[in-house]
Structure 1
Amino acid sequence: MAKHTGPVCKICRREGEKLFLKGDRCHTEKCSFDRRPYPPGEHGKSNLRKKQSDFGLHLREKQKVKRMYNLMEQQFRNYYKKADQTKGMTGLMLLQFLERRLDNIVFRLNFAPSRKAARQLVTHSHFSVNGKSVRIPSFIVDEGDEIEIKENKRDKKIFKVAMEVAKQNPIVEWLEVDPDKFKGIVKRLPEREDMPQNIKENLVVEYYSK
């Protein structure tokens, strides 16, 4: 499946909930989902009254999670296969792999306003992990890893703003941020309570198990 290149606000409307794909805009009155909380298209409002089949519910949940983490179909399927082969609950392992992606870590540390922006910054080689430059968004971090904005990139406006945001906004408990050093640390691996509560991973597992 090709990568979505259209308006991302339509994705939130299609999935029926706010996925925070546009960063700060999602917290303002300009948010399209808040103004039009129904699927896009001519018959969007009428579609709200239609009852979904079990397959439809499973599909929509899979699509929601995939789009939330800004992944293409094959990428997401590969994460599911890896989770299914890993010891532990498949759904939990899947979410853990997604949360441990470097682009998601950059987003969680408030170093970028959205996962899409974080992915671009990582690709453009703005970060290092444990002192080594990493430009692969799918890089999986581990407990104890240090994610740092490269010294020669710190004067960029986006990072100056990000550091102010990082000082004011709380982050997830399994991460730690030091705005003064432009650095974040993975204190531990995320548990289920640390991950998005609006995700029903059991529906994703059921989708791929059929």
Structure 2
Amino acid sequence: MAVNRTPVLKRCRSLDLDPTFLGYDKKSKRNSQRANRKLSEYGQQLREKQKAKFIYGVLEKPFRNYYKKADQMKGQTGENLMIILERRLDNVIFRLGFARTRREARQIVLHKFVTVNGATINVPSYMIKAGDVVAIKESAQNMQRFKDVAEIAGSRLVPEWIDADKENWKGTIKQLPARNMIDVPVDEMQIVELYSK
């Protein structure tokens, strides 16, 4: 499996992205204010695509497949793409505050600690639907890992489209997110323009 081993903060600096969107604290020693060199139109579009892929931890081929799926759906392709990315199970675990970062959320899912409607799911790209109940298994709730997560990520704001029950380590998807509910700093129209060429 392909793994990007570039340090997260270095990648954030190169994409001009605030690490807090990934769940990381700003611990960068160097000032991230670099001399902004002028990017071409293609460069700006490519940066927005790389930013979206990096934030959600998606590789090129699955990202392109998400774009094709978004293009076939009703409505605006860019908004559909962001909604699809937001519906991924690893992202929902991160949004609920059950993981510090999306990478950790992915690992939690892969280790079979997550159930959706009572069934164990170990696929990070699983698409959540409205009405689904996402929970951490009871056997895993007392692990030290989750106690540490509760201290750090427990105070994170949960989006309005999810109803979180942090005491019982579960959340209910009230509705699918709309674009205005997604606080990710990505200009999805640039991605649409890039793939439309």
Q: Do these two structures clear the TM 0.5 threshold for a shared fold by scoring above it? A: yes
Letter in 1 for 2:16: G
Q: Please report how far the alpha carbon of residue 161 of structure 1 lies from its aligned counterpart in structure 2 after TM superposition.
A: 3.2
TM-score (norm 1): 0.87
Comparing 110-119 with 152-161, which one deviates more in the overlay? Answer: 152-161
Q: Note if 1:27 corresponds to 2:14.
A: no
1:96-135 alignment runs, 5 A limit: 96-135=83-122
- Tell me which residue corresponds to 1:12: 12
**2:97 and 2:155 in contact (8 A); partners too:** no
Percent of aligned pairs sharing the same letter: 43
**Cα offset for 1:127?**
0.4
Shift of 1:2: 4.4
Aligned residues between the structures: 197
Task: Check conservation: 1:13, 1:36, Cα contact below 8 A.
Answer: no
**Structure 2 unmatched runs, 5+:** none
2:181 aligned with 1:194: yes
Measured in 1, the distance between the counterparts of 2:154 and 2:56 equals 24
Residues 61/22 of structure 1: CA separation in 2 closer, same or farther (3 Å cut):
closer
Deviates more, 1:53-62 or 1:151-160: 151-160
- What secondary structure is seen at the aligned counterpart in 1 of 2:159? coil
Q: CA deviation at 1:197?
A: 4.8
Q: State the distance in 2 between where 1:130 and 1:64 align.
A: 32
Aligned to 2:42: 55
> Against the structure 1 CA distance between its residues 20 and 169, is the aligned structure 2 distance closer, same or farther, given a 3 Å change threshold?
closer
CA contact (8 A) 1:129 1:148 kept: yes
* In 2: Cα distance, 1:197 partner to 1:68 partner: 8
Which sections of structure 1, spanning at least 5 residues, go unmatched?
39-44
Paired residue for 1:64, among 43, 51, 58? 51
CA 1:105–1:22 in structure 2 vs 1: closer, same or farther (change >3 Å)? Answer: closer
Q: RMSD value over aligned CA atoms? A: 1.9
Q: In 2, are the aligned partners of 1:8 and 1:22 still within 8 Å (CA)?
A: no
Contact residue 117 and residue 132 of structure 2 kept, 8 A? yes
Aligned mates of 2:195, 2:17 — CA distance in 1: 22
Alignment CA distance shift 1:130-1:101 (3 Å) = same
CA deviations 1:124-162 (Å, max 9, x no partner) are 100000000000000000001000100111111221233
Give 2:157's aligned amino acid: P
> SS in structure 2 opposite 1:35?
coil
Secondary structure of the residue that 2:20 maps to in structure 1? coil
SS where residue 175 of structure 2 aligns? coil
Scaled by the length of structure 2, the TM-score of the pair is 0.92
Equivalent residue, structure 2, for 1:139: 126
Q: Is 1:83 aligned to residue 70 of structure 2?
A: yes
Partners of 1:138 and 1:66 in 2: CA distance: 13
How far has the Cα of 1:20 moved from its partner? 3.4
